[in-house]
Chains A and B, each alone.
Chain A
Amino acid sequence: MKKLLLKDSKYEIKKSKIIKVTTLTDLEKFFEIELPGGDSLDHDPGQFVEVSILGVGEAPISVSSSPTKLGSFEMVVRKVGRFTSALHQLKEGDEIGIRGPFGKGFPVRILEGNDLVFVAAGLGIVPLRSLINFVIDNRRDFGKVSILLGCRTPQNMLFGDEVAEWTKRLDVNFSCTVDRADPDWKGNVGMITSLIPGVTLEPERTFAVIVGPPVMYKFVIAELLKKQIPERQILVSLERNMKCGLGKCGHCQINGLYCCQDGPVFSYDKIKGVPEAL
């Protein structure tokens, strides 16, 4: 058996540094990552990276920061298993490996000039934040912007500070709901779908972008369709088990589609007839 060092391997990682860690909730931590030499990741909103801890493994993680943020990028990771537990043990200054960005992100060029409705539930805010902040940083390129946010309890809300900023902006319509409220909560209580009827929009020039746990897509899409938004203007980001990020390992396959190459962002018309998608 001969062994050869492989230049240009798709599995090569970029040795990167964690420059900031913040604990968001019991399960979620925020990480800010600097690539070697301060290079920028050069990603589209909605793309993801494969994060490595050598000796533990790799996991696909969405980029949470907007490409307009230079010099570093951000991500939020929920502790669910082997890799994510190990990542949670790391501190500022520790190194991780990065591959990517991978996948098809949100079609920013197409969204320009249109109205946007963001629907984010739970962890869905994490990838969506890359687009929301991009839009806010380039606010004048877009039409009306609405953000609908859902989380389990007020304590579960991620990026509270940023969300507070959004609520204050006049050029963003913001509404929020929680599954379970505490006595201090003044806002809506209930499913995120309950927010949709209240949004006024012009369907033919509106793009809706949805990210959240698998179970919610069907219901949210149904509401949006009721609002006459065309199928191809409804965008979702799907999560699947993923190993290689290169469209080979087979784990992320949704019928004939590969989530890592054809997605994770899909327009509804593309996946409507794909039984395993939603």
Chain B
Amino acid sequence: MTRTKPKVAFFDFACCEGCQLQVANMGELLLDVLGLIEVVEFREVMSEKGPEKIDVAVVEGSITDKHAIERIKKIRDRAKVLIAYGSCATIGGVNGMKNNFKLDDIRKEVYGDRFNYFDTVETKAVHQVVKVDYFVNGCPVYIPEFVKVLKAALQGIPYEVPDHAVCVECKLNENVCMYDRGVACMGPVTRAGCNSWCINNGNICYGCRGMVSNPNENGAMDIIKKYNIPMDMVINKMNMYNKCREIDKREQKKR
């Protein structure tokens, strides 16, 4: 079966571009990937501009201003399949922290009395603006998972982000649990799929992959209380990546 290679384009919105860099970090594996697809647009490493219609759009970054809203809508129209790529795109990521503040306050904080000059809107994840077909979570993305999603997209079948806790992978890696060291970890409420990357390296999980669909928030709070960890600190941590979840909740309520 010979097929024409699907046309893939990369786009970036407000983000650190680290997830795109992860692609370059694949090393020679990248060439295998490039054997499967035709990259038609990738501003960070390419000068070429892609055609009007593309098969797959890989979108990085969150939507933070009006211009971005227009741009993402155009990209959606151009693309058969849209992959939200990296925490900023899938759950709002660190950009969501902006939503912790009143918009005008934070603009004033940064721009002083000229705050009206810079346009900014509530930070949103991509799926909160346009339809998303595949999610690759993580800050930055975990390459093995990206490859998995890419393969699923090329096979034309759905990919489901694991809906169980990071703890599952963490246990399988036989890490000493952070709670046993008296430190709060977001693992119990965060979606697995990163192979408990941070805990393997001695850090806690910060929740960059977003929350499991049905987290037992009360149970989690109980745990935290038991370990004598100040609540505001934990809420602070939860809000580091997951602030935009409130938008999903709000939308659900509307429906």
Contact = CB atoms under 8 A, between A and B. Distances in A.
A–B direct contact (CB < 8 Å)? yes
Nearest to B151: A55
Interface stretch (A29-37, A82-90, A156-164, A241-249): A82-90
A55 B155 contact: yes
B155 A56 contact: yes
A55 B155 CA distance: 9
Number of contact residues on A: which range applies? under 10
Interface in B45-90: none
A226 to B, nearest CB: 38
Nearest to B156: A89
A82 B156 contact: no
Contacts of B160: 81-82
A89 B3 CA distance: 15
A137 B230 CA distance: 72
Interface residues of B, number: 7
B172 interface: no
Interface centre among B155, B157, B158, B160, by most chain A C-beta atoms within 10 angstroms, is B157
Interface in A205-232: none
Contacts of B157: 56, 82-83, 85-86
Interface in B134-156: 152, 155-156
A163 to B, nearest CB: 32
A81 B159 CA distance: 9
Nearest to A81: B158
Nearest to A56: B157
Contacts of A56: 155, 157
Interface in A50-71: 55-56
Given A55-B155, A89-B156, 16 more contacts: A56-B155, A56-B157, A81-B158, A81-B160, A82-B152, A82-B157, A82-B158, A82-B159, A82-B160, A83-B157, A85-B156, A85-B157, A85-B158, A86-B155, A86-B156, A86-B157
18 contacts: A55-B155, A56-B155, A56-B157, A81-B158, A81-B160, A82-B152, A82-B157, A82-B158, A82-B159, A82-B160, A83-B157, A85-B156, A85-B157, A85-B158, A86-B155, A86-B156, A86-B157, A89-B156
